[in-house]
Amino acid sequence: MNTSPIRIVLGKVGLDMHDIGSKFVARGLRDAGMEVIYLGAFQTADSIVGAATTEDADVVAVSNISGEYMLYVPEILQKLQERAMDPVVLVGGLVPPKDNERLLAMGVHGVFGQGSTIEAIVAFVQAAVEKRRASQKA
Torsion, Cα of 84, 86, 92, 97 (10° steps):
100
Domain assignment present for residue 23? The answer is yes
Per-residue confidence (pLDDT) for residue 1, from 0 to 100: 52
Please compute Rg for the chain using Cα positions.
14
Per-residue confidence (pLDDT) for residue 65, from 0 to 100: 84
C-alpha span between 28 and 129 (Å, rounded) = 17
Q: DSSP E strands: which ranges in 2-66?
A: 7-13, 35-43, 59-64
Per-residue confidence (pLDDT) for residue 2, from 0 to 100: 62
Range of the structural domain that residue 41 is part of: 7-137
The model carries a pTM of 0.93
Domain assignment present for residue 89? The answer is yes
First to last CA, the chain: 12
Domain count, the chain: 1
Q: How confident is the chain (138 residues) per 10-residue block, as mean pLDDT?
A: 87 83 94 97 95 97 88 96 97 91 96 94 98 88
Per-residue confidence (pLDDT) for residue 136, from 0 to 100: 84
Q: What is the CATH number of the domain that holds 50?
A: 3.40.50.280
Domain assignment present for residue 1? The answer is no
